[in-house]
Amino acid sequence: MKTGLIYKHEAYQIIGKCMEVHNELGHGFLEVVYKDALEVAFRLEGIHYEREKPYSIYYKDVILQHKYYADFVVMENIILEVKCLKNIGNEQIAQSLNYLKVSGNRLALLVNFGRDKLEYQRLVL
């Protein structure tokens, strides 16, 4: 049985764009600035994405009033969560895993622009 990383090539492309943005802008901006820059980078590269994609949350087969909004869904299958923090913690990881649960996707990339060097984590459900 062959085992490997899911969406390895696609994730590599996405992280590459995040690194380009971080290299150009550095750290210290608000999250929205990095999201705007990523949107430009994806568009220029022809990478399909949806920004602020809403997901309904169900409780006992009832759709709850509030939705979850993933920062990006890239290439239709990968959740991209953009953060600008000193450190990625359990709260951000849990949030990304919840996006995977409600979306039905299997891979989330949690990217932190808040440090001198870009940090990211692959989360698989």
What is the tens place of the pLDDT at every residue in 55-72?
999 999 999 999 989 999
pLDDT (tens digit per residue) in 4-13: 789 999 999 9
CATH number for 44: 3.40.960
| Residue 34 within a domain | yes
**pLDDT interval class at 3 (50, 70, 90):** low
| Residue 2 within a domain | no
**DSSP character for 56?**
-
Average pLDDT over the chain, rounded to an integer: 94
Into how many domains does the chain fold?
1
Residue 2 above 70 pLDDT?
A: no
Q: Is 15 helix (H, G, I), strand (E, B) or coil?
A: helix
pTM, entire model = 0.92
| Residue 1 within a domain | no
10 Å Cβ neighbour count for 9?
A: 9
Strand partners, 119: 112
Asked if residue 111 lies in contact with residue 22, where contact means CB atoms within 8 angstroms, the answer is no
Residue 90 belongs to domain spanning = 8-124
